[in-house]
Amino acid sequence: MITSVASKLDPETLYDVNERIGRGAFGEVFKGVDKKTKQMVAIKLIDLEEALDELEDIQQEINILSQCDSPYITKYYGSYLKGSQLWIVMEFMGGGSALEIRKAGRIEESFIAIILHEVLKGLEYLHSEGKLHRDIKDTREGLIRVLQQLLWAV
């Protein structure tokens, strides 16, 4: 059940939600700011009433994120339930998605090699922990961390 992985604190007292930066498998992703530390964060907002069929997958995503401890995986800061809306707060990865970078023009081979190396290190970590990443695509925000970005820029 989602309530077992989500805090009852009001997330609006903890975070400011700014512009939308993407859309995830289960909801929209916004740039946000931690009101206490002023740190930029990514906030995935999910309307649970619209995602009833995905509740198990959402809970699994939260469980996996909360267990990961790697420089190659997006850091998870917490989950909050406000009404029917679930907030998943993660590390903000600036730089845009790989798709946006590809649209900007040609990507140098040396840059692609660096990115793919980092992606593979993230996948290696996940696999060593017995976890699989089933949603790798070039529209993910950020550049280097695996869980909330990634690319295939060839």
Does the active-site annotation cover 135? yes
Residues sharing a CB contact under 8 Å with residue 105, sequence separation 6 or more, in sequence order: none
Residue 76 Rama label (left phi>0; alpha psi -120 to 50; beta): beta
Report whether 121 belongs to an annotated binding site.
no
Catalytic residue among 47, 57, 135, 138: 135
Residue 59 in tokens: 């809970």
Among 134, 97, 132, residue whose Cα is nearest residue 115: 97
- Please report, in range form, the residues annotated as the binding site for ATP: 44
- Residues annotated as catalytic (active site), given as ranges: 135
